[in-house]
A and B are shown apart, each in its own frame.
Chain A
């Protein structure tokens, strides 16, 4: 079986300094794969290169057998890839409803889009209560929910989440992961970038550990969770 997303020898450099030194990883259809690592390990650089926000310095990214290396971000949405960016990136001066509609920008089926907006509201009732509120006035957790909901409106086959738990209270983090599990259970393939290794590995099928721009460990999420090296480095011993 060929992987849905196949990354080979990916390199990212910032002005000659290599942030990602040729990593290989893949995501199979239906999986929830997580990429964990400390701050500055290169997680976000990897995701930025995958999503066309920066051009990789080397390597290839293949999605469903198609080379998408360096394809600009706006063209990826149509292929079924959505990225929920680090720091959430909701449009602060657009209201919740408009933010959700922007997620469906590349689609034309208005009636179906509105049905899916309603589905998001059912899945995340908090957003429904705030539909006409400017996104900038939402709490961090609500913004994260909005960002995920917005990404789902692109009808992605592959959803990439960049640090969804960042800066959120533990209770809110649980809610976010509840939503992520729900999305995964409905068949969307997920690539999850997380600093919270415990939570990420508990929810993932497989995981990769990124250290200083290289993948040092990989395997079944349950196995990684029990691995003494992971425990020591990321799970607080």
Chain B
């Protein structure tokens, strides 16, 4: 193994890992506030893909410049995904808030399948080509090859994560989110509209997921109804690995998972890439079930 290959895989891992991290944040935020694994989150990310494809194509056909088209498409995807996320919470999870915890979990799996099928109805089964709005031509920096697309993904992810941390720790709404996550009843006594805070949490998580969906579509040049499944599972793994419910955990977990997968590729064939995520998940669950950063909490599920 040469050091060049290792460096290259580390860079690839960071790019993929930052996307995992963005998606993992959606899982972890919802878990933090509702102790619910929102298995439909991967599908929300998926919706961001085809939505942005349609939006960019339409905007380009209107003669808009490509960067503006991309930015507007991202906004459209964020709004669509946020609306879907909030609607899911309102329709599927809220009525079950006081039900045994298995009920919303199974509902989440059901919602996930439902969204996939709806995506087939709305978008079709085709693979959609995502226009090359940011160059996917390789650039060589030293021994490492990257694309402008990947650099943008990395930088945008870091910026988004920093913005989320700032929001959660330095704003009134963020403090209310943390208060609600800790004790909904007392949060209500403070005058916090708990339902509203939960809806906002879903909206933010889904919005970040939408961006991740656009990043994936833009990086691989395609979007399809199935793209959320594996991505969702891996991001969920990342969230568990970092310590679900913990924002830093989701970010660190996402990056580590991306690195493990891509560095692991040096040793095994590409077909086996997906194994790493789940080996890591099993190992974490056996040896450190609270995650790398998470605190040990009494198991409730």
By a beta-carbon cutoff of 8 Å, the part of chain A in contact with chain B is 51-53, 72-78, 82-83, 85, 89, 91-94, 98, 101-103, 105-106, 150, 154
Contacts and interface: CB of A to CB of B under 8 A. Distances in A.
B185 interface: yes
A94 B192 contact: no
A76 to B, nearest CB: 8
B171 to A, nearest CB: 11
B178 A106 contact: no
B190 A102 contact: yes
Given A89-B186, A150-B190, 19 more contacts: A51-B189, A52-B188, A53-B188, A72-B188, A74-B192, A74-B194, A77-B190, A78-B191, A83-B189, A85-B189, A91-B183, A93-B182, A94-B178, A98-B178, A98-B179, A101-B172, A105-B190, A154-B190, A154-B191
Please indicate which of the listed interface residues A53, A82, A92, A105 has the most CB atoms of chain B within 10 Å of its own CB.
Answer: A105
A98 B175 contact: yes
B189 A73 contact: yes
Which of under 10, 10 to 19, 20 to 34, or 35 or more describes the interface residues of B? Answer: 10 to 19
Contacts of A92: 182
Interface in B224-247: none
Nearest to A73: B188
Interface string B199-223: 0000000000000000000000000
B182 to A, nearest CB: 5
Contacts of B186: 85, 89, 91
Q: Which of B176, B178, B188 is packed against the most chain A CB atoms within 10 Å?
A: B188
Nearest to B195: A74
B137 interface: no
A94 B179 CA distance: 7
B166 to A, nearest CB: 15
5 contacts: A53-B189, A73-B189, A74-B189, A89-B185, A105-B192
A89 B183 contact: yes
A103 B179 CA distance: 11
Secondary structure at the B interface, as helix, strand, loop or mixed, is helix
A137 B175 CA distance: 18
Contact of A82 (B176, B179, B187, B189): B189
B175 to A, nearest CB: 5
Interface of B: 172, 175-176, 178-179, 182-183, 185-194
A102 B192 contact: yes
Interface centre among B182, B185, B187, B189 (most CB of A within 10 A): B189
Contacts of A105: 172, 176, 190-192
Given A91-B183, A92-B182, A101 B188 contact: no
B181 to A, nearest CB: 8
B175 A102 contact: yes
A101 B191 contact: no
Contacts of B182: 91-94
| Top-6 shortest CB links A-B | A77-B191, A106-B191, A89-B186, A73-B188, A74-B188, A105-B190
Contacts of B190: 74, 77, 102-103, 105-106, 150, 154
Contacts of B179: 91, 94, 98, 102
A83 B190 CA distance: 8
Contacts of B185: 53, 73, 85, 89
Contacts of B191: 74-78, 105-106, 154
Contacts of A82: 189
B179 to A, nearest CB: 5
Contacts of A154: 190-191
B189 A89 contact: yes
Contact of A94 (B172, B175, B189, B193): B175
A77 B188 CA distance: 9
B244 to A, nearest CB: 15
A150 B189 CA distance: 11
Contacts of A78: 191
B253 to A, nearest CB: 20
Most buried by A among B183, B186, B188, B190: B190
B33 to A, nearest CB: 13
B188 A91 contact: no
Contacts of A103: 190
A162 to B, nearest CB: 10
Contacts of A83: 189
A180 to B, nearest CB: 18
Contact of A101 (B175, B183, B187): B175
B20 to A, nearest CB: 25
B251 to A, nearest CB: 18
Contact of B178 (A72, A76, A77, A91): A91
Of the candidates A74, A83, A85, A106, the one having the most CB atoms from chain B within 10 angstroms of its own CB is A74
Contacts of B187: 102
